[in-house]
Structure 1
């Protein structure tokens, strides 16, 4: 069974037990580690992997063969994307016409950014440049772009690049909706036993929590030279109650994001209730 997810600490922490044969009854997995921009593209293809991690913002474009699973993803509070600049004096309005780097045009981060700029940047930004998220902060630092939209562990490390925080989109979203931020979703082929796969993933999450040291070497091997402290902070922030079960607040957050974005014409409309496949 093929599975694709990112090498980020939250994903490797969640899937360690499943990947290493520690979940009873689960099949052997053929694992590919890929940036979210790659998986968002794979999600539109009918011959993609059986299971993968994509952005919640990419769900409207996902091939009908895929279903959203209620576990294994990334939602939370205090973990939203950041907009960074190398100009401490820059204001949101000053982004008008500027060049901005983003990790994916179908990422939740970019969708939040578009909803925010519609309110805060009269006339909108200028050129959008898509690049792997680990290249964005160096590009902002070196003046290759005027601002960068960053995700994941960048919130712990951007100061080391001499960058300034223009806005925390997570804070903006939470203050506006009182809901968590839906970032990464786990999808699987509808032809599979979705209940069984969800149970395997949930057991993998629970194993990770019960045995935090077991995954340490695996997580650090893929942590892209992050320090152990930053890696642990990343896991603590992104692996939470929603990783085991979306629950009502999780679904409400997903519905709010996709519903608002569709109303603004940023994404295709979908039947939101259909995301609850059971």
Structure 2
């Protein structure tokens, strides 16, 4: 079976056991490591592997063909995207007309940014540039971009680039809704045995927690020159109880995000019941 997820530590930690034959009864998996923007586009085009990690924000485009699995993804608190600048500007209105780099136009990070910008940037007049997330901070530092929307380990390293945080979109979302932040979803083609896939992925999460050292070499092999300390911070932030089971608050967060986005016209209309079926 083919699967695609990012090389980020949270994904390699979660899926280590599954793709290394440590989950009883699971088939062998052929892994493709891909940036979230790539997997979002694969899913929307009905291309690529049978199982993918995508942004929750991309779900409205794919739910007719893919089921959302209730485990293996990334939701949480205190782990939201950041808006960074070089000059330390604090007023969101200062971004009007400026170039802002984002990691994907169908990412949860970008959707949160659009919802925030609709409240805080008059007219929403922005020049959006999509680039791989690891290129965003250098671009802001070097002045080719005015601001950057960053995710993942950038929360821990942006100061190394001399950058300043304008806003933490996770804090904004949590204070506005009281809900966790839905970031990355695991989806599978509806033609598959999604119940078995759910059980295998859940077992992989539980194996990772029970045997954290087992995945260490695999995590660092794909960690893009990240230090072990930052990789461990990354795992601790993004792999949590929601990775085992979305639960009531997880589904509520997803429905709140996509419901607001649908109301604003940021995503196409879709059947919300398909999030749970």
Alpha-carbon distance between aligned partners in 1 of 2:179 and 2:90, rounded to the nearest angstrom: 28
Q: How much does 1:271 deviate? A: 1.6
Q: How much does 1:90 deviate? A: 4.3
Alpha-carbon distance between aligned partners in 2 of 1:172 and 1:47, rounded to the nearest angstrom: 34
Query: Alpha-carbon deviations, 1:109-164, whole Å to 9, x = none?
Result: 00000000000111214210000000000000000010000000000000000000
Does residue 152 (structure 1) correspond to residue 152 (structure 2)? The answer is yes
Does residue 245 (structure 1) correspond to residue 249 (structure 2)? The answer is no
Give runs of ≥4 in structure 1 deviating > 3 Å. Answer: none
Q: Is the 8 A contact 1:99 1:125 kept in 2?
A: no
Matched ranges for 1:99-114 at <5 A: 99-114=99-114
Alpha-carbon distance between aligned partners in 1 of 2:132 and 2:251, rounded to the nearest angstrom: 28
Q: Is the 8 A contact 1:45 1:63 kept in 2?
A: no
Q: How much does 1:44 deviate? A: 1.5
What SS is found at the alignment partner of 2:105?
coil
Alpha-carbon distance between aligned partners in 2 of 1:125 and 1:227, rounded to the nearest angstrom: 38
Alpha-carbon distance between aligned partners in 2 of 1:164 and 1:198, rounded to the nearest angstrom: 40
Does residue 129 (structure 1) correspond to residue 129 (structure 2)? The answer is yes
Counting matched residue pairs gives 277
Alpha-carbon distance between aligned partners in 1 of 2:248 and 2:165, rounded to the nearest angstrom: 32
Does residue 235 (structure 1) correspond to residue 235 (structure 2)? The answer is yes
Q: Supply the RMSD in Å over aligned alpha carbons.
A: 0.8
Alpha-carbon distance between aligned partners in 2 of 1:180 and 1:118, rounded to the nearest angstrom: 20
Q: How much does 1:63 deviate? A: 5.7
Q: 1:20 maps to what in 2?
A: 20
What SS is found at the alignment partner of 1:28?
coil
Alpha-carbon distance between aligned partners in 2 of 1:207 and 1:182, rounded to the nearest angstrom: 23
What SS is found at the alignment partner of 2:126?
coil
Alpha-carbon distance between aligned partners in 2 of 1:131 and 1:19, rounded to the nearest angstrom: 28
What SS is found at the alignment partner of 2:124?
coil
Matched ranges for 1:187-206 at <5 A: 187-206=187-206
Q: Between Structure 1 and Structure 2, which shows a larger proportion of helix residues?
A: 2
Q: How much does 1:269 deviate? A: 1.7
TM-score of the superposition, structure 2-length normalised? 0.99
| Structure 1 unmatched runs, 5+ | none
Alpha-carbon distance between aligned partners in 1 of 2:59 and 2:65, rounded to the nearest angstrom: 12
Q: Is the 8 A contact 2:4 2:53 kept in 1?
A: yes
Q: 1:71 maps to what in 2?
A: 71
Query: Alpha-carbon deviations, 1:41-72, whole Å to 9, x = none?
Result: 00013343110000000001116221100000
Query: Alpha-carbon deviations, 1:163-215, whole Å to 9, x = none?
Result: 00000000000000000000000000111110000000000000000000000
Query: Alpha-carbon deviations, 1:233-256, whole Å to 9, x = none?
Result: 000000000000000000000000
Q: How much does 1:5 deviate? A: 0.2
| Structure 2 unmatched runs, 5+ | none
Q: 1:80 maps to what in 2?
A: 80
Alpha-carbon distance between aligned partners in 2 of 1:47 and 1:230, rounded to the nearest angstrom: 33
